[in-house]
Structure 1
Amino acid sequence: MFGTLGFSYTGLIFLCCLFIPNIIYGFNLPKDYLKIEENKIFLTFERIGQLFCTVFLLIFDDFNIHNFNLWTMWLGIAFVLMALYLICWGRYFIGKHVSIDFYRPFFGIPLPLAVLPVTAVFLLSVYGKVIWLGIAAVILGIGHIGITAQNWEAIKNQ
């Protein structure tokens, strides 16, 4: 429940799935990019959540595959959500590089580039039974999904 210290290769894989597309995005902003003043509370939650998720994903080896059993389905679902997240990034990068491709729903999932990774990280915390990552994922979700929703509303009203 509190986690076993040790390196998590699964956490590293998740972090690579999160960081690499975001770095590439930094060099491929939408053509209709709109600089929006982000809510300071949401931004604080997002940054704190990012910091703790990054640390916890790497320092607890509970997220690694130790054996296959029914509980491993949580890990499988988390990986499926992360794969869907990467597909959404692909939709943006292959598309016209416009904001709507960044925010529009994916198979009915609203704000998929915010909802999918946060949910995947939360489910990884369930799989590893590490409460700290679960709390960090909730904090990240409040900030990241809040900011993304705020940005989506501003773009729709543009």
Structure 2
Amino acid sequence: MGFSPLGLLVGVAVLAPNLLLVAFPPRAPLPKAPVPRPLGWLERAGQALCLVVPAITETGTIVWWWAAAVAAALAGYYALWGRYLLRGRDGADLYRPVWGVPVPMALLPVAAFLVTAAWLGDPWIAAAAVVLAAGHIPTSLAAARAAGEAQRRRI
């Protein structure tokens, strides 16, 4: 155990854009997606772990070239938040595929934490990212499905 400023920085960098939903919520509420309760708990546990674990575990051997992959994942994630804001805060944009990749706004944070684990030489961050992936990706897929169905009904 120890403190990792780089881990804290990545945790905050990934999770902070979600605060945009407080100031800039979707213009139309998204339909509720049916998600099994244990899956929701797993998602929340993964989010908490990915905020705390990178900050409280000491780094191993830092492999600096992995920092470029972390930066790329964050840049893609921020670009998708930009898409959400610039296209008028359509909630479906939070789940819309990009280049055939389903739920990229769920995949990119997981990728950011996984490459952070490689960058900082910390297997605990990788474990936290796996927990996040197990809950967040299926939950986001369910939300994407519900948003798509709601959009088809409006057309």
The one-character-per-residue Cα deviations of 1:125-157 (angstroms, maximum 9, x if unpaired) are 122222221111011111111111000001111
Unaligned runs of 5+ in 2: 151-155
Q: Distance in 1 between matches of 2:132 and 2:138?
A: 9
In structure 2, the residue corresponding to 1:72 is in which secondary structure?
Answer: coil
**Residues 29-61 of structure 1: CA deviation (Å, up to 9, x unaligned):** 222322414321221111111222222110124
* 1:40 corresponding residue in structure 2: 37
TM-score, normalising length: structure 2:
0.85
Q: Cα–Cα, structure 1 residues 9 and 109, in superposed 2: closer, same or farther, change >3 Å?
A: farther
Moved over 4 A (4+): none
Equivalent position of 1:58 in the other structure: 55
- TM-score between both structures, scaled by the size of structure 1: 0.83
CA distance in 2, matches of 1:86, 1:54: 17
* Partner Cα distance (2:13, 2:120) in 1: 19
State how 1:9-88 maps to structure 2 within 5 Å: 9-36=5-32, 37-62=34-59, 71-88=63-80
Task: Tell me how many residue pairs correspond in the alignment.
Answer: 149
Name 1:112's counterpart in structure 2: 104
**Whole-Å separation in 2 of the counterparts to 1:81 and 1:13:** 14
Overall identity of the aligned pairs, in % = 30
Give the counterpart of 1:157 among 145, 149, 152. Answer: 149
Counterpart AA for 1:109:
V
Note the aligned Cα RMSD (angstroms): 2.0
TM-aligned CA deviation for residue 75 of structure 1: 2.3
Distance in 2, matches of 1:81 and 1:136, equals 17
Q: Which runs of 5+ in 1 are unaligned?
A: none
Q: Of residues 135, 138, 146 in structure 1, which corresponds to 2:138?
A: 146
